[in-house]
Structure 1
Amino acid sequence: MSSFLELKSFYKHINRAPESGESGVGHFNIFKVEELIVSRDRPATYSRRDFFKVSLVNGHSRIHYADQCIEVTGSALVFTNPMIPYHWERIDEQQSGYVCIFTEAFFSRFGNVKDYPVFQSADAAVINLRGEDILFYNGLFERMLAELDGDYAFKYDFLRTMLMELIHSAQKMAPAVGQRLSGSNAAERITALFAELLERQFPIELSNQVIRFNAPSAFARQLNIHVNHLNKALKETTGQTTSQLISERIAQEARILLKSTNWTINEIAWRLGFEEPNHFSSFFKNAAGMTPRQFRQAAAD
């Protein structure tokens, strides 16, 4: 399973202070690619982040994102979603460009950043650039970097506006076409991505925390594949269906919450994605052989 990179770990890796990008509402920062170069001999890992990322990459490289491999021979914009693992593989020694990172909270004034197509799937996440487009986006990143280093009192509001311009202008362009893995490798990658998405939702620790994905169609939509393709891959690698794997993990979390919290059964049902408490009770009884109330009582005795 791939690693999870938090903001503090990212800053430690590049030897920077996280506070340099604090905006008061969320987090935003920009770096030059040259400052973030790592050895190309380093093995590929599909790391998840707890932040969104927009990169302008100049140079020959490969972007491994979800179940696709997209080769970049010139310049490209790359939009990455923290829910899906990805890796940037450097081919040429000479690489340049910019990396912009920001948290969901930073973008919240403009709505839900996850709703934008460039952040929803690998099919829309990489956009090749040519000619004037390269000059435009290099200039836009340079403006954002200069603004970030300035002392304008409302600079983060201005940076949000420029980030919005970057996203919308990119979405008007045609995305790059990648190659999907095939055979057993594809099934293994899809299984790993599914497991990442499933586990990313747990444990349930906060009173307002609700799982986002609790149905096969929701996972398939996030991974940008047909639900039958997802089910076939999971059946091949695990011997279980998508529904079985989801149900097992939700039932496991339900048992933990019934044992370790004083939340009501209705509250637990809601946090596990059940709109109706009786649906949760039926689900749990089918999985555990007893109702949630009976299970909680037995655990207390």
Structure 2
Amino acid sequence: MITKERSVSAYNNELRLKGFNVFQIEADDTSVKTYSRKDFYKICLTSGRSMIHYADRSYEHEGTVLFFGNPHIPYSWETISTSYTGYTVLFSEEFLKLSDRSDLLQQLPFFKIGGTPILDINEEQRQSLNQLFIKMIEEQQSDYQMKDEVIRNYIHLILHEAMKLQPSVSMDNKKNAASRLTSVFLELLERQFPIESAEKPLSMTSAQDYANGLAVHVNYLNRAVKEVTGRSTTSHITERILNEAKALLQHTDWNISEIAFALGFDYPSYFNNFFKKQTGMTPKALRTVEV
């Protein structure tokens, strides 16, 4: 069988290896709205007019905001103004955990689904925060051996400065709650894929898992998804896992036990039964056909 590897951009590979990246958003830049990797936390200090959709809420703002993105909570960003400037830092949970304050992320309201991830920033605050981002960029470009630790310190400084500020109260629920919740569920489902490592198995495999992740009751999620799509939450999850299973069988040389584990199955036999029920053939049979 010919092994095909998934292509991942050089940018994402570099970011994954370092665990962080900080950069300036230039005028008319699209960095904020196009970056969608699920692996990283994001802090953006941006000036302009934008519409931010976060979980089941939306926020429209003109001016400067400090935004906190959680890789476990779906969000999207629409830039409305023609000129958009600021700074962004992306970092993994593992990168921040290397410090002695690794539990800070779990304590912050900015990264929780029920919290407020957007802070209004005045001009004085903007200039102060700008300096922290500029310092991070300088460290990133330096040859200093301990620059990772310095950058971690700057990230912590931004988080602590944010804790002193008042959260925005302008986050509004969408009028069509079922439609928005369904959109968030489908986006969160898609963010779990592709599976790129057998060592990082799929963690959300049931409707209850997604309901927990979205902080809603599973019955509410099921009703919303059924109302909007005409299909059950479980059928969407099953279809996506099945498609990923086929891709892994056809385009990797992972053995079937590795694929089963990567897709969240405790035992290969469970995966075999699931696959045969959905397709009428075993995973091994599909792989044989594809050789």
Residue 133 to residue 235, structure 1, CA distance change in 2 (3 Å): same
Distance apart, 1:145 and its partner CA: 4.0
Distance apart, 1:271 and its partner CA: 1.3
TM-score by length of 1: 0.69
Q: Give the match for residue 296 of structure 1.
A: 284
Q: Give the match for residue 250 of structure 1.
A: 241
Partners of 2:22 and 2:219 lie apart in 1 by 40
Residue 264 to residue 73, structure 1, CA distance change in 2 (3 Å): closer
Partners of 1:211 and 1:68 lie apart in 2 by 26
Partners of 2:284 and 2:113 lie apart in 1 by 40
User: Secondary structure of 1:162's partner?
Assistant: helix
What percentage of aligned pairs have identical amino acids? 34
Please say if residues 220 and 226 of structure 1, whose CA atoms lie closer than 8 Å, have aligned partners that are also in contact. Answer: yes
User: Secondary structure of 2:45's partner?
Assistant: strand
Partners of 1:57 and 1:89 lie apart in 2 by 11
Please say if residues 33 and 79 of structure 2, whose CA atoms lie closer than 8 Å, have aligned partners that are also in contact. Answer: no
Please say if residues 57 and 98 of structure 1, whose CA atoms lie closer than 8 Å, have aligned partners that are also in contact. Answer: yes
Distance apart, 1:250 and its partner CA: 2.0
User: Secondary structure of 1:53's partner?
Assistant: strand
Distance apart, 1:267 and its partner CA: 3.0
Q: Give the match for residue 87 of structure 1.
A: 77
Are residues 1:98 and 2:87 paired?
A: yes
Q: Which amino acid aligns with 2:150?
A: F
Q: Give the match for residue 208 of structure 1.
A: 199
Please say if residues 61 and 88 of structure 1, whose CA atoms lie closer than 8 Å, have aligned partners that are also in contact. Answer: yes
Q: Give the match for residue 15 of structure 1.
A: none
Q: Give the match for residue 165 of structure 1.
A: 157
Q: Which has the higher contact order (CA 8 A, sep 6+)?
A: 2
Provide the alpha-carbon RMSD of the alignment.
4.1
Partners of 1:145 and 1:270 lie apart in 2 by 39
TM-score by length of 2: 0.71
Deviations 1:135-174 (A, max 9, x none): 6434433443444455544223201111123224435655
What is the aligned residue count? 275
Structure 2: state its 5+ residue gaps: 1-7
Are residues 1:25 and 2:18 paired?
A: yes
Q: Which amino acid aligns with 2:226?
A: K
Residue 260 to residue 187, structure 1, CA distance change in 2 (3 Å): same
Deviations 1:27-71 (A, max 9, x none): 42231x4x24359xxxx9776246543112345543233432213
Residue 249 to residue 79, structure 1, CA distance change in 2 (3 Å): same
Structure 1: state its 5+ residue gaps: 10-17
Question: What is the correspondence of 1:84-163 to structure 2 with a 5 Å cutoff?
Answer: 84-91=74-81, 97-102=86-91, 106-107=95-96, 109-110=98-99, 117-121=109-113, 123-129=115-121, 133-134=125-126, 136-148=128-140, 152-163=144-155
Q: Which amino acid aligns with 1:207?
A: A
Distance apart, 1:125 and its partner CA: 1.6
Q: Which amino acid aligns with 1:237?
A: V
Please say if residues 28 and 83 of structure 2, whose CA atoms lie closer than 8 Å, have aligned partners that are also in contact. Answer: no
